């Protein structure tokens, strides 16, 4: 349970480079859409695991139960951080809404990773104090951040899908004019 969360996440902020294969600005990138879908799947797992861990605070489970769950949360945060790094590599080739999505995911994921790391450090140092308010606050904050991250990514994906549908319908109307 030791080690920093997502070295890839920490480096992600520095990977804001342009790609040689940048698509026309304004056009949705299929690669970014795929990466966002992958990030959404990780965020759903992150939210589910954080929800499970939050339910633990109402029980008398041991610190080992928390440790196993927080390791799962850490793994999903790391995976999401790696996906974010890949998204940032592709960002220049995305449409404006995709670029905005990438920029909005980063600070939320950074905050979640930092809180997860703090939760892990607290748990490692205070195994007998898992039923104290301070630890419960870390767990609750993790759940809230994971929920916000999942909702943010889901909302952007839903927007992209609605935008594509509207564009398809608009092009069909052009045929009839």
User: pLDDT (tens digit, 9 = 90+) per residue, 37-74?
Assistant: 999 999 999 999 999 999 998 888 889 999 999 999 99
Alpha helices, DSSP H, located in the chain: 7-12, 30-56, 63-90, 96-125, 133-175
- Rounded to 10°, the helix 96-125/30-56 angle is 30
pTM of the model: 0.81
Domains and CATH numbers, the chain: 28-175 (1.20.120.230)
Is pLDDT above 70 for 15?
Answer: no
CA distance 140 to 124: 18
């Amino acid at each position: 349970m030791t080690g920093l969360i997502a070295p890839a996440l920490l480096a992600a902020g520095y990977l804001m480079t342009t790609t040689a294969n940048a698509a026309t600005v304004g056009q949705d990138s299929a690669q970014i859409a795929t990466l966002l879908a992958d990030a959404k799947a990780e965020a759903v797992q992150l939210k589910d695991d954080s929800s499970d861990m939050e339910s633990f605070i109402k029980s008398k489970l041991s610190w080992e139960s928390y440790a196993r769950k927080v390791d799962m949360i850490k793994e999903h945060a790391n995976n999401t951080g790696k996906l974010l790094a890949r998204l940032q590599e592709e960002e220049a080739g995305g449409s404006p809404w995709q670029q905005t999505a990438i920029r909005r995911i980063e600070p939320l994921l950074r905050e979640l990773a930092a809180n997860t790391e703090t939760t892990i450090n607290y748990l490692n140092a205070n195994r007998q104090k898992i039923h104290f308010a301070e630890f419960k606050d870390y767990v609750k904050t993790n759940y809230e951040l994971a929920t916000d991250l999942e909702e943010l990514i889901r909302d952007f994906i839903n927007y992209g899908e609605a935008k594509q549908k509207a564009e398809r319908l608009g092009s069909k109307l052009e045929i009839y004019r």
